[in-house]
Structure formats: structure tokens, C-alpha cells
Structure 1
Amino acid sequence: MSTTAAPAEAPAGLDLRDYLKVIRTYWKGIVSFTLLATLAAMGWTVLQPKVYSSDSSGIVVTPGSDNVSLSLAGDSLAKAKVKNYESVAKSRLVADRVIAALDLKTTADALLGSISVKVPLDTAEIRVTAASTDPATAQRLADAWVNGLAAQVEAIETAPVGGSEATSDTGSPAGATATAVRVLPLGKAVLPTGPTSPNTKLNLALGAMVGLALGVAYAVIRRHLDRRIRTAAEIEQVFGIPAIGTLPLDHRLEGKSTVLDAGMSAQVHDAGGAMAEALRELRTNISFLDVDQPPRIIVVTSSVQSEGKSTVTANLAVTMAAAGENVVVVDGDLRRPTLVDVFNLVPGAGVTDVLAGTAELEDVLQPWSALPNLKVLGSGRIPPNPSELLGSNAMKSMLKTLAENATVLIDAPPLLPVTDAAVLSRVADGAIVVIRTGRTTQDQLAQSMGNLDKVKGRVLGAVLNYVPTRGTDSYSYYGTYTAAPEEQGSTPELPSASLQDDAGEGSLEAALSGRRARV
């Protein structure tokens, strides 16, 4: 028997479609992170004090002149001086003057923290912005700062003459030279009507962006850490084995194994119809696995329990029998047998009794009343050595006898807890591994494939079970595809007599002759 292919490596990176798929899968987490971050930003914004800002400006001027050359020189001097005065405006000297003028109860360093100074490019203007929790205080502080800067510049530019400390009537030192450069205030500051900080819209936008980034990061990390198998394409890409069937979630199968009469049910618009069509597709895919030598003995197993292998075995057998095939279902789970209960048959002798020689095979095969061409062989009494019995020559001989006139489906135990399924795969034509969507992990399936590979077992394919009918990667079912209704009178009515019956030869010709006569 050929061995299964070694698991392929997972794709290294994600393309755009993978990212979109990740977002669709984990969109709830992304939205939650975004909302939480936005609410956190809103809460932080509400807790922050409202700060008002007011602007006031001053301009550096030089003595004017009717001479154009002197005017240009004065303008250049003002623009050169304004760069020095920017640092003066940020000094403690101006802050002390403002504290004295407004009689403030604060320090120069604390006051400097609420003041910002800016010099627009290629101008002689100095713009002062004052911030405070009170709009009126911000207005007064901006005006007082420009006035304090003007006074400080005048003190710097005024040079005393002759060492005299006396002052003139204008407040300048007596005997001082006239100031060549000075700062003139440009009007009064405007009373602010709204706070400039905190910026609610900006904070909410930043919070939403941070939350969105965290949500996407969470989704990508979940995608890399989540090893659960969800799609048939994932099985084929990662492990290199064909996904020969996908079975939708059917609530009638939750918590129990039962037969849905797949292939015979007339329901086509509900979940039963979807399951029936999926089982037919699985039956067809199995028949095309090897056209020259189709598998006659098939082991149906899974990685762990509760993945639906017994249900898949029973309903696949019914679907194959409904197509006219002779099918024998063997309960190869000698530890926890279930098929007798699934088909509602009489418990008693089975596989172990035939292998022990205490019963004949024909005596313990039970036909299913709904389909006479479907027979079930129960497990029989639970033995102390299931693996040895399943791997015996007697088991191999029995299966070959059953496969002479029927397709044999063996419901085997899971691959990981025990070795029974791997042992059975050696005497079978191949194994079908049932995978439960969103529960079976890549690590479990890889270990299961390894167990089959060790015994040189052949893997026919994987069946993805319990595929959700809604959401991302859901099962797609398109309903009924029937022939178009014929228009009345468009087709001649066929004779009521059968075209072929037991009356003898010539029935077909008689029917066709009657049809031609009516035409």
C-alpha cells in the first residue's frame, strides 16, 4: 500500500486575501478593541482640565527715515534683532515683570510653562500665546507678557551715559541714549470663547486608530496561534492530502450519532437537504479516487473522539446503499461500539465472535430494514485485546470475504488515543480521516498522519465535518437544481404503459408505435 505524503510546510506570509479573511474571522475582537480604546480616550479627555489660549503680538521697529537705504537697513536690523528677542521673551526677566504687573501668586518657572513664543518666518513679529484654565486670565497674561517684553527690550537697548544712576521723567536711566530698536504691542489679545485643550475630536480619533491597530494585531496573533483547522483548503495546503468531502453542521446530530436517511429524504431546502447533498458529493468523490481499482475496504477514523466519525460512517453507508451499492458497515471500535445503536439493531454477536470462531459471519450480519442492500456487523463482546484482534489474519480474511460482494466501511477508533485504526488501515484499501471544523488542530492531524505513515497506511482523504452554515468559511448550499417546467402541449404525452415491463419482448416497440400514431 502506498504511504501518505508528508505534511507540507504552511505558507510563510499572508497576502491581502489572507488579511481580509483574518479581519472577517476576528472582526468582533477588532471592533471590541477599537471601542474600548475610543472609550478610554473619551474618559481621559473628560478628566482633563479645559485650557484656554489667547494670542498677543508685538513687532520690532527701528527709527524710520525718508532715505530708502536707511529704511531697508532698519528693516533688516529689526528682523535680525527679533531672533534675539525670542529668547528674551522666554526668559525669567519677562516673567518677573508679568508677575509684578498682574500681582500673581506663582513663580517665574511655573509661569513660563504656560507661555509659548513664536516668530513667524521672515517677519519682525513676536507672537505670544498664553494658556490658562480661565479665559480672562489667558487674555490678561498674553497682553502683560508682550508689555513686559517691550519693557525688557527697552531696558536692554537703553545704554546709560556717564555712570549716572538718575532716571529721567520717562523712567529710562538719566543720560541714556535713545533706543535704536524697540517692541511695540499690536493691539489687545482676544478673549477666548472655547478651550483649545483637550481636543476631543483628535483624542477620539487617535484612540480609535490605536484601538484599531491593537485589534488587527490581536487578530493576526490569534491567526498565527490558532492551530484549529477551519477550511478544506488548509488541509490540502498544509498536509498535502485531498479534502474529499465537507459536511455542514446539522443540529439533528448534536450530541448523538444517528442516521438521517441521507439520499432518500425528500427534504431539499433545509439542513437535511444540505447534508444529503454533501454526502452524495462525498460518495461520488470516493468512487473517483481510483477509477481502475476503487477502494473496497475503507477505514473511517479521526484524530480524537467526538469528531463525528461514527455518524459519517453510518450516513455515508446509507447514501452509498441508496445509490444501489451493496454496503457492509463493520463496527471496528471494539472499545466503545456505537453502530448497533445508531442503526437501532439488536445487540449481540459481532466481530469478536466471528474472529473467535463462536459464530458464523452470515449469522451475525444484520440487514437494515430501510435498505436491504445495507448490512451491519456489530462489534460483539468487548475483548481485552482489541488491537491484536483487529490486526489478526482472521480479521483480514473476514474483511476480504465481506468485500467480495460489497463495499466495506469500518468505523474505527480515533488515531491518537489508541492504535486500533492504524492497525486496521494496514488490512484496508485506505483510510478516511474525519476532521471537526474549529476543533481539530493541525498538530493533532499531523500526529494522526504520522501514525498512519508509520504502519504504511494509505490515506484516501479527509472529510471536514460540522462546517458552519453561517459566517466566514461557511458551507455553501445552493438548494435544488431541477428541470425547467414544460409548457402545456409542448411535448406529446407518453403512453401510460411502461416502456419496459415483464410482459415480454416488443413492449418498447409497441409503446413507441402508439406514440407515433398520436403524433
Structure 2
Amino acid sequence: MELRDYLRGLRRHWLAIALMTLLGIGTAYGWSLLQTPVYEATASGVVQAKTEYENGQLLNDDSSARLKVPTLIDMAGWEEVAERVIDDLGLTESPASVASRITVENPQSTAIIRFTAQASTPQEAAALAQAWIDALAATVAVVDGEDTPTEISIYAAAAATVPTVPVFPDTRTALIVGGVLGLGAGIAFALTRTASDRRVRATDDVESKLHVPVMGVIPSSNALTGASKLLTDTAGERAFPVAEALRSLRTNLRFMDVDNPPRKIVVSSPLPGDGKSTIACNLALTLARSGEPVVLVDGDLRRPTVATNLELPGGAGLSDVLTGRAAVADVLQRTPHDPHLLVLAAGTIPPNPSEVLGSARMRQLLEDLAKHATVIIDAPPLLAVTDGAVLTQQADGALLVVGVGKTNYDFVEKALDAVHKANGRALGLVLNKVPRKGGDASPYASAAYVQEYVKGESRKRSSTRAAAESA
């Protein structure tokens, strides 16, 4: 796979990526709500040293104070200091537990000792930091006694303030980490799905993978979602992309072999649900609208749908002609949609469709019809039953309708292999239900392209009509 395939995969799975990113953010937010908040308060004390000289005068000695700081920092971790704090604040914890919530630091080259306390409430954190200074000062006074020539004291220079924001959990950081992890998981999911996805995509290099030409690209449209699924002139602009795609398919068929164009064309698919009957009916109607005589044959003798799609009565049809119970001229029906289109319905469903479709009478019938018109045969799915493969042998070739985003390459390859084993000819693929938006959209099926083209045509018709009226 190339880089562009992975980029399309990311675009195709953008919703999953977004959802997983939101899930990561939501999980991080939920985790932060479940955590016990930790507040941090800091109080600072200045170490003062006063030395008594012979005249009985006490003078500040900054050098002695700075020399005493390391000793005081070590004393701040004594159990005796922690016990004093517990007594002062009325705590129930052990001295070791309380001491673990205190951090003592000394800014370089200063006589300042900074006490940082952590607690589950802002008030407790501030009280703990302040109580530790007082407890250390009391302990120093007891240890030094009254006979020392240098008096050491700790002055509470900066009282602890009550914090307003907890230091843990850091909700903003947690949300960022959760979002990044969710985004990474979403991208990994999208790339994995893309690498393992074997479904046919409109933008994939279908021809290079299957070595079969793509004869048509039919965009997805709600114009074909009715009961008949037939493209009519009343559908308006919403049917324009499909109508244009069908005209392009008609042109490709005509220029496929200029000297000997196919006259008997089977329309089938690998599996049910790819839209082969809809394409067969609309292709026949598109050919007929160009003034070309067309006969549409319902060759699906198991689940016939042509008569329903064209809003015609079922009754007698193909099976009755092949069994000699009816003449072709008697069962051919004209459709109200175009006078150049004749329809041969399936008729009575026989118990042995494969044998009926593979008979010499079927071959002769198709030959006779092809002398006067182009014959489009709606065949059953190739992998569901053998009827479709049998019909490809009777015709000039087969168009394989493939549902984009539904049918995978393995099924298409098996369907093509079934055609070749039956000594049939695969004319090409018709990619059906191609998205008009998103990563799988065809450039000529995109909504923006079609809308601009239709507007251009409308302006052109309007200007022509205005010129005619003025003349």
C-alpha cells in the first residue's frame, strides 16, 4: 500500500479517530475526578545565629547561620519534630507518614529553609507547613540549650498561604495526555483497518489489482431508492450524476470494440446486494433513450426483479419461451418509459434454472434477439448459483457490478474466475454505489463537481432560451 492509501484510510475512519480521541479525553477527565486531590503549601523560615561576645553583647552571625542550615535540614526529618507537629495539629497519622508529606529545601547560598507540605485539603497543607517550622524551632531550642555561645533560631519569614488549586491531579495535563493517547489509538485503529481492508474502493487501483477494466462508476444516489429503482426523467438534478455515469458506461460499451461491439451483454455481480438488477434495468433504458433498440431479458429465474423494477406485469416470459409454451413476440412487453425498450420477463420459475439457461434454445433465442437489438441480460449472482456463469457462455460478455465498500477483492476474483472457467468473457467492472463525499468518493461523482456542472448547464440553457425569446 502507498502513502495515499493510508491517508484515505485516515479520512475514511475520521469518525472513529474522533470518537477514540474524545474517549481518551473523557477517560482522563473521569480518572482525575476519582483521584484524591493533593494541595501544596509552602512556608519559609530564616535561620538566625547570634553570638555572645565578651562584653555580653549579642550580634548576628550570618556565616554561622549558613553553616548551620544543613544540620537544621537534617533535623527537620527527625521523628521528634514530626511528633511535635502531630501533637500541635491533633493528627492521627504516624510520624513517618506525616514526615513523608514534607519537603525541606535550602536556596543556594542563603540561610533560608523552605518547607513544602502536602495534604488533602488546602487548610491542612498550610497548617502543616507552618507547624513544621514551629516544631523545628522548638526542637533546635531544646537541643542547643542555654549554655551555647551561639544562639540559633528560626524566624518564620513567609507564612504559608492557603492554596486554591491542587497540584494533583493536574486535570489539564491529564486531558492532554488522554487526548494524545486516544488520538494515537484512533490513528492506529484506522491504519490497521486500512491495511487489512480487502473491500473494493472506488479510489483504489482496481484495474491494476484485478487486471480488468472499469467500465463505469455509478455514484450513490437517493434517486434509485424507490420501489422500482428506475432512473426517470422526473428525478431532476439529484439523478444527474447517475444518469451521466450511465451514459458514460453506454459510451464505453460502444467504443469497446468498434468493429464488433458486444450485442449480448450479461449483467451480474459476485454476491446479492451489489445492485446488478438496478444497473441492468437502467443501462437498458439509457441505451434505449439514445434511439437504439434494446431488449432487456430477466435471466434470474430464481429471484426475478426486472418486471417489478420496470412496473410491468410478470406473467409468461423467458422460461415459457424456452419450454415452447409461448412465442417470443407474444411475451415481449413494451415499457412506458421508452418506446425503443422491450422487456422479456422471467416467466414461470422452473425447477432447474441452470439447465434451462444453458440450453441450445437459450443460445438461439439470444442470437435471434441480437439480430434486431442490443440484448441486456440480468443474471443471478455468480457466486450464489451457477446460472450466471452459464449465461456468460451464451453471451458476448459480462459486466460485473461491484458494490463499493461492500464486496471484497476475494469475491470479485472468484467471480471473474467463474466467468473464465465457463469460457465466458468479462467485459469489465461497474463500480456501484460510489460515495459522493469522503475518502472513497470518485472525483466525477463528488457533490461539488456535479453541482457546479449542473449549474453551468442550467445557466447555458437559460441564456440560450433568453436569446431565442429576444430573437
* TM bracket, shorter-chain basis: 0.7 to 0.9
- Equivalent-residue separation in structure 1 for 2:413 and 2:103 (angstroms): 65
1:214–1:455 Cα change, 3 Å: same
Give SS of 1:233's match: coil
AA of the residue aligned to 1:196: P
- Cα deviation, residue 322, structure 1: 1.0
Q: How does 1:354-393 map to 2 (within 5 A)?
A: 354-393=321-360
Could you say if the C-alpha distance between residues 39 and 492 of structure 1 is closer, same or farther in structure 2, counting changes exceeding 3 Å? closer
**Cα distance 1:43–1:442, how it changes in 2: closer, same or farther (>3 A)?**
same
Deviations 1:289-329 (A, max 9, x none): 33343222211011222332112111111111111222221
Aligned with residue 435 of structure 1, among 397, 402, 406: 402
Would you say the 8 A contact 2:43–2:116 is kept in 1? yes
Confirm whether residue 308 of structure 1 aligns to residue 266 of structure 2. no
Does the aligned pair in 1 maintain the 2:81–2:136 contact within 8 Å?
yes
Relative to structure 1, the CA distance from residue 229 to residue 120 in structure 2 (aligned partners, 3 Å threshold; closer, same or farther) is farther
Summarize deviations over 1:115-136 as a string: whole Å, max 9, x none: 2344557777653310123434
Distance in 2 separating the partners of 1:365 and 1:291: 29
Cα pair 1:116 1:128 within 8 Å, conserved: yes
Matched, 1:281 2:248: yes
**CA shift digits 1:265-292 (9 cap, x unpaired):** 27642x2233222211221222233334
Match of 1:116 in 2: 103
Q: Retained in 1: the 8 A contact 2:133–2:156?
A: no
Query: How many angstroms apart in 1 are the aligned matches of 2:72 and 2:207?
Result: 74
1:95-145 per-position Cα deviation (integer Å, ceiling 9, x unaligned): 345435555332122113322344557777653310123434323322343
Contact in 2 for aligned 1:257/1:310 (Cα 8 Å): no
Distance in 2, Cα, partners of 1:301 & 1:389: 18
Query: How far has the Cα of 1:486 moved from its partner?
Result: 5.6
Q: 1:88 Cα deviation (Å)?
A: 5.8
SS where residue 117 of structure 2 aligns? strand
- Of the three residues 334, 343, 350, the one matched with 2:301 is 334
Whether the 8 Å CA contact 1:232–1:246 is kept in 2: the answer is: no
Q: Does the aligned pair in 1 maintain the 2:122–2:163 contact within 8 Å?
A: yes
Matched, 1:196 2:166: yes
CA distance in 2, matches of 1:339, 1:34: 47
The answer to whether the aligner puts 1:129 opposite 2:116 as a matched pair is yes
In 1, Cα distance between equivalents of 2:106 and 2:147:
33
1-side partners of 2:470 and 2:183: how far apart? 67
Once the two structures are TM-superposed, the CA of residue 380 in structure 1 deviates from its matched residue by 3.1
Gaps of 5+ in 2: 52-61
Structure 2 CA distance, aligned partners of 1:33 and 1:492?
A: 62
Partner of 2:212: 241
1:151 Cα deviation (Å)? 6.9
* 8 Å CA contact retained: 1:54, 1:189: no
Matched residue of 2:385: which SS? coil
**1:135–1:356: structure 2 CA closer, same or farther, 3 Å change rule?**
closer
What is residue 459 of structure 1 aligned with on the other side?
426
Q: Does 1:424 align with 2:391?
A: yes
- 1:353 CA drift (Å): 3.6
Shift in Å at residue 488 of structure 1?
8.1
Distance 2:112 2:182 in 1: 42
2:254 is aligned with 1:254? no
Q: What residue is the counterpart of 2:22 in the other structure?
A: 35
Query: Does the CA contact (< 8 Å) of 2:46 and 2:113 recur in 1?
Result: yes
Q: Distance in 2 between matches of 1:428 and 1:236?
A: 23
Amino acid at match of 2:103: S
* CA deviation profile, 1:5-42 (whole Å, cap 9, x unmatched): xxxxxx2x6x2x54554444333333333334433433
Matches within 5 A, 1:45-194: 45-57=32-44, 89-90=76-77, 92=79, 94-100=81-87, 102=89, 104-118=91-105, 126-146=113-133, 148=135, 172=144, 184=154, 187-194=157-164
More off after superposition, 116-125 vs 385-394: 116-125
CA distance in 2, matches of 1:487, 1:368: 32
Partner of 2:56: none
More helix by share: 2
TM-score by length of 2: 0.79
Deviation, 1:431, is 1.4
5+ residue gaps, structure 1: 1-10, 65-73, 156-169, 494-519
Give the distance between the partners of 1:408 and 1:309, measured in 2 at CA: 15
Match for 1:329: what amino acid? L
Alignment check: 8 A CA contact 1:55 1:129 kept: yes
**Alpha-carbon spacing, 1:89–1:266, altered in 2? closer, same or farther (3 Å):** same
Measured in 1, the distance between the counterparts of 2:66 and 2:375 equals 102
Q: 319-328 or 286-295: which moved more? A: 286-295
CA 184–377 in structure 1, closer or farther in 2 if over 3 Å, else same: same
Deviation at 1:214, TM superposition (A): 3.5
Number of matched pairs: 449
CA contact (8 A) 1:143 1:188 kept: no
Question: 3-state SS of the aligned residue for 1:387?
Answer: helix
Backbone CA RMSD of aligned residues: 3.9
Give me the whole-angstrom Cα distance separating, in 1, the residues matched to 2:466 and 2:268.
52
Give the conservation status (yes or no) of the 8 Å contact 2:200–2:404: yes
User: Residue 232 of structure 1 contacts residue 243 of structure 1 at CA under 8 Å; is this kept in 2?
Assistant: no
The aligned amino acid for 1:373 is H
State the Cα distance separating 1:237 from its structure 2 match: 5.4
Alignment partners' CA distance in 2, 1:40 and 1:304: 42
Match for 1:446 among 408, 413, 437?
A: 413
Over 3 Å counting, the alpha-carbon distance change for 1:293 and 1:124 in structure 2 is farther
Where does residue 290 of structure 2 map in the other structure?
323
What is the alpha-carbon distance in structure 2 between the residues aligned to residue 368 and residue 327 of structure 1? Answer: 11
How far has the Cα of 1:370 moved from its partner? 4.4
TM-score in terms of structure 1 length? 0.72
Task: Name the amino acid aligned to 2:344.
Answer: L
CA contact (8 A) 1:147 1:185 kept: no
In structure 2, distance between residues paired with 1:489 and 1:345: 43
